[in-house]
Amino acid sequence: MGLFDFLRSDKDKKKEHGAEKAAEQVQQQAAAAPPPPAAMPGRTGTRYTESAAAARTAEERGGASAPRPPSAAPAKPPVVRPAPHTPTPASAAHKAVPAAPQPAPERQRTYTVRSGDSLSEIARRELGNEGRWRELYAINRGVIGSDPDMIHPGTQLVLPN
């Protein structure tokens, strides 16, 4: 008896006793059972060779119910793929599809620079935000040049949308 056996419930003791009895019964049945077919005298084959023999006999009889071992599988016929479709002038793949109608390009707004104008003033007046002067300069850099502070009166500027 162990040190803490007094804590175990009666159920645990019954389970342990039942498990021991079941193990004894399994051992007794194993001893009384006849030996497996491979261990019987006069039979030297294994289960694989027995199943292979059964497959061969079933095949000879014309039955395909028994599975074939991998070595006796017939060669698969080559896969024949159809030739790729060549479009003809009458086929749907060759017919012209009309392009989707393009919306009419919006007319770009322009502004002509006056004397005393600056990009930030033009952006505030025309675009509603003087912080957009950088956007105005980026679009018109080719016309303005490398210095955004140097705009000349009469220059046509393209306004962003």
Task: Provide the 10 A C-beta neighbour count for residue 59.
Answer: 14
Structure-model confidence comparison of residues 119 and 80, the more confident one: 119
pLDDT band of residue 143 (cuts 50, 70, 90) is: very high
Helices and strands, counts by H and E, the chain: 5, 2
Q: Tell me the residue type at 53.
A: A
Length of the chain: 161
Share of the chain above pLDDT 70, in %: 54
**Mean confidence (pLDDT) of the chain:** 75
pLDDT band of residue 28 (cuts 50, 70, 90) is: confident
127 alpha carbon, distance to own chain's centre: 47
The pLDDT of residue 12 is above 60: yes
The model's pLDDT over 148-157, given as tens digits with 9 standing for 90+, comes to 999 999 999 9
Q: What angle do CA 104, 106, 110 make, to 5 degrees?
A: 150
Q: Tell me the residue type at 97.
A: V
d(CA 2, CA 157): 100
Give rounded-to-5 percent helix, strand, coil for the chain. 45, 5, 50
